[in-house]
């Protein structure tokens, strides 16, 4: 099962990817998580990405495509994977197509989590509060200013991907406003269609 979850920041991509990854025994590939790990470790990629991420901008296509190309080649991806936060631009989508074609692989579905923009700010604020309450460190980009930039980046760069994948016959849209378990059920329904195809 090779799946992409699409949606704006705060739509629930991370939450749903984790649940589905666990259920189906396939890895969740989050470029955001990988980049945050690189920033923390102070690697050359992390040093390049740090300021851009904190401001809510997009890291270069070259960097993230390189990260995903390496990750998809690892043995745990042989049975499939869930891409969470990648691709985020049309050139990234084209690079992913080329990468998969070179491995004789194909995407099964692209699931769009459709949400009302007005709730994104409160979801991000809640995530920051919950992280603090649990004694964790709040993401550098979980604040109002960075969120505005992230939303702009989403609408300018990422939202065209819904048209791209619709045209490829891969797009399924689910209601991301529903409670977490309902969203999971909707995604499971989409995956069931793939498995029964
Ligand atoms: P996320 O955890 O998916 O919200 O990603 C956090 C941040 O990492 C984004 O705001 C970007 O700065 C960067 N990032 C993650 N994935 C990508 C990507 N595919 N392309 C460019 N930047 C990315």
Q: The domain spanning residue 88 has which CATH number?
A: 3.40.50.300
Q: What pLDDT was estimated at residue 90?
A: 98
- Predicted confidence (pLDDT) at residue 187 exceeds the cutoff of 90: yes
Within 6 A (CB) of ligand 1 lie 9, 31-32, 35, 52-53, 56-59, 64, 85-88, 92, 141, 150
Percent of the chain at pLDDT above 90? 84
Q: What b-and-e string marks burial along 58-81, b requiring 16 or more CB atoms within 10 Å of the CB?
A: bbebebbbebbeebbeeeebeebb
Tell me the whole-structure pTM to 2 decimals: 0.94
What spacing in Å lies between the alpha carbon of 197 and ligand 1's midpoint? Answer: 32
Q: Is 139 a catalytic site residue?
A: yes
Q: Is 150 a catalytic site residue?
A: yes
Residue identifier of the C-alpha nearest atom 11 of ligand 1: 58
List all residues 6 or more positions away from 182 whose beta carbon is below 8 Å from its beta carbon.
175
Query: Domain range spanning residue 116?
Result: 2-196
Helix (H, G, I), strand (E, B) or coil at 58: coil
Q: CA 159, 16, 2 angle in degrees (round to 5)? A: 70
What spacing in Å lies between the alpha carbon of 155 and ligand 1's midpoint? Answer: 14
Residue 196 backbone class (left: φ over 0; alpha: ψ -120 to 50; beta: rest):
alpha
Select which of 13, 36, 50, 71 is catalytic: 13
Residue 127: how many other CB atoms lie within 10 Å: 17
Q: What pLDDT was estimated at residue 118?
A: 84
Q: What pLDDT was estimated at residue 168?
A: 97
pLDDT, tens digit (0-9, with 9 covering 90-100), for 39-79: 999 999 999 999 999 999 999 999 999 999 999 999 999 99
Q: What pLDDT was estimated at residue 197?
A: 73
Rounded (10°) CA dihedral 58, 44, 21, 93: 40
Mean pLDDT of the chain: 94
Strands (E), 32-167: 81-84, 109-114
Q: Is 127 a catalytic site residue?
A: yes
DSSP state of 85: S
Q: Is 79 a catalytic site residue?
A: no
Select which of 36, 88, 109, 172 is catalytic: 88
List all residues 6 or more positions away from 140 whose beta carbon is below 8 Å from its beta carbon.
53, 54, 146
pLDDT band at 85 (very low <50, low <70, confident <90, very high): very high
Ligand 1, residues 85, 94, 150: which to mutate, most atoms within 8 A of Cβ? 85
Q: Report which ligand 1 atom has the smallest distance to the Cα of 13.
A: 3
pLDDT, tens digit (0-9, with 9 covering 90-100), for 121-172: 888 888 889 999 999 989 889 888 898 899 999 999 999 999 999 999 999 9
Number of domains in the chain: 1
- Cα 33 to Cα 15, 64, 70, 105, distances in angstroms: 13, 12, 15, 24
């Amino acid at each position: 099962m090779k799946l992409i979850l699409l949606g704006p920041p705060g739509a629930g991509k991370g939450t749903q990817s984790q649940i589905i990854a666990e259920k189906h025994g396939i890895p969740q590939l989050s470029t955001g998580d990988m980049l945050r790990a690189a920033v923390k470790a102070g690697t050359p990629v992390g040093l390049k990405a740090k300021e851009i991420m904190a401001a809510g901008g997009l890291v270069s296509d070259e960097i993230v495509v390189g990260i995903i190309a390496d990750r998809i080649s690892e043995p745990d991806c042989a049975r499939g994977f869930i891409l969470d936060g990648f691709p985020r631009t049309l050139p990234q989508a084209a690079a992913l197509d080329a990468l998969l074609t070179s491995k004789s692989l194909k995407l099964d579905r692209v699931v769009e989590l459709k949400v009302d923009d007005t709730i994104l700010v409160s979801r991000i604020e809640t995530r920051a509060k919950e992280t603090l309450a649990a004694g964790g460190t709040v993401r550098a980009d979980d604040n109002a200013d960075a969120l505005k930039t992230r939303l702009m980046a989403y609408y300018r760069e990422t939202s065209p991907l819904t048209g791209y994948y619709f045209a490829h016959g891969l797009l399924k849209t689910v209601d991301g406003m529903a409670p977490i378990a309902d969203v999971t059920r909707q995604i499971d329904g989409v995956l069931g269609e793939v498995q029964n195809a």
